[in-house]
Each structure stands twice: as C-alpha cells, then as structure tokens.
Amino acid sequence: MFVGHTFYLGIFIALFVLLMVFGVYIQSVFADEYRTIGIRHATNPVICVFEPDPSYTKNVRGVLKSSYISIDLWKEGLTKHSPEGNWDMMVFTIPFEYHYERNASEFTVCNILIAFEHYNPDSSSLGYTYVDFSSSKHKYTHIVVYLYDYRAIDHYNFVLGSQKQTYKDTTHEIKSFSLTAVQNIITHEFGHALGLGHYKITNYPIYTDDKPWLEASVMYYSINPQVTEVAKPKYVDIKMVEELYGEDGFGGSITPPLKLGYYTAGDTEICTHKCNIIRSR
C-alpha cells in the first residue's frame, strides 16, 4: 500500500513539473523582451551632429533636419510621459570642415555623436552605435548612419546548346535612403545611444507583421527603410529610459541599479504585449 501511494505521488510530481515547465515555455514564447546595453550617461548628454560629407548627399540640410527631428521626438516623448524628469539635451552641429578626418574621441564635449557614411559594402546594416565608456574623462556613444542602400543583384544567364549551362552575374545597386528612412534610423540608434537595447517580440498578434517597430517599440531590432511613416518613441521606450535614469532624469538623485537586460512578468508599463516571466541578466 505504501509503495502504491509513493508510485502515484511520483507520477503526480512528475506531471506537475512538466506542467510548470510547459507553462513557462508557453509564457516565454508569447512574450516581449526589452534589453538594455548596460550603460547610461551620468549627466545631461551633449549631442553633436556631424554635418555629412557633401559628396554623400545632395541634401545636407535635410539630413541635419532629420537628425534634429529625431532628437526632438525623444525629448517630446520623455517630457510628456515622464514630466518630473530632467530630460534636457543640448544639440550642436559640427560643420564638415571641422570634423573631416578627425576621430570622434577628439570631440570631448560631446556625449552623443551622430555621423553619416555613404553606404555599407559589407552588410545590410542601416547604421550602428559605438559605445566608448573606457575613459572616465570622456564617455560617449557614437551613432553612424548610412545614407545609401547597397544591394547585390544576381542575374542568371542561360546558354542553350548540347549542354545547358547557367551563369550567374552579380551587379550592385546603390540607392539613397529617403529622409524619412534616415530619420527613422537615427531615432532607433539614438535609443541605443541613451543605453537601450533591442525590443524583441516573440509573438505580436496585436501588430501588423511588417511594422512592429512602428506600433510596438522604436527599438524593435529590425527596421524597414521602405516604410514611409515616421517612427516615434513609444510609451514603452520612454518607460525603459526611465528605468535606466530614474523618474527625475539625467543626473538625478534617483539612480536605479544599472541592469543588463531588464524585463519581468508584471512589468505592464515596460512590455507592450506580454512580458517574459524570466528575468534577463
């Protein structure tokens, strides 16, 4: 009799464990993740926008304006959703002749630098953010945005004869991004410059499949440069900045613990759809 009870108890425990594991899996699959990159600026950041090389674009003024609009979108979102915080950021334009062939580290007054390159021949990356917090005297994040799309196009030529042969010929197309695309890329990269990581959606039934980064989070890891709509920081993005800097903003008295990867179950203000129940560290 004792053996029987033990046997059934063992089966019950095994089933319970399986259900718990399966439940964790289900909740993890249908969950959003928001990460940080483990850095934050100690004071109000000074932003330097490097005027693009005139040979890279015919609309230098338009590219600069897109940069300022992107920064303003973050300022507006932070001021609206976190009104108690100090979110001031000074922005300066560095003329091309002043930064040509100079290193970003030489601009010691700048905490966030925004620069532009022609195109990326090595990958399909639209831009990237470089972080240098190695020096206590000058900690900065450096945004680089590509102004042109560089695509490889394969052409197949068929030769008919006694033996059919196929030859592949690859050409490259270079096409400029629209100013809206440039602005959206800057907006995304600026989130990285503040310390945000990517917002990952494992299941998003409430979003359209082609534009989750417009509807869920501006920090969604993939951006479609062909979309003509303006991407704006969402409430979830603002709340994540607040998690990094505190409700009183840059250099405030409330300094939350700096976490690398932050999302938990129940953080309804952080996760637009549904949070992963496992804490990311």
Q: CATH topology for 33-245?
A: Collagenase (Catalytic Domain) (3.40.390)
Residue 158 pLDDT: 55
Return d(Cα 259, Cα 239) in angstroms, integer. Answer: 14
CA angle, 275 as apex, 245 and 78 as ends, to 5°?
Answer: 30
- Prediction pTM value: 0.78
Residue 232 pLDDT: 93
Residue 199 pLDDT: 84
Burial label for 19, CB within 10 Å (0-12, 13-18, 19+), is: exposed
Residue 76 pLDDT: 95
Under 8 Å between Cβ of 87 and 78: yes
Residue of 32, 9, 17 whose CA lies nearest to 197: 32
Residue 255 pLDDT: 80
Q: Taken in order 105, 111, 116, 120, is the CA torsion positive or negative?
A: positive
Residue 29 pLDDT: 42
Contacts of 34 (CB under 8 A, 6+ apart): 196, 197, 198, 199, 200, 217, 219, 236, 240, 262, 263, 270, 271
Residues of the chain with pLDDT under 70: 1-32, 151-173, 201-214, 261-281
What separation in angstroms does the CA of 36 have from each of 116, 231, 241, 280? 24, 20, 9, 10
Residue 193 pLDDT: 97
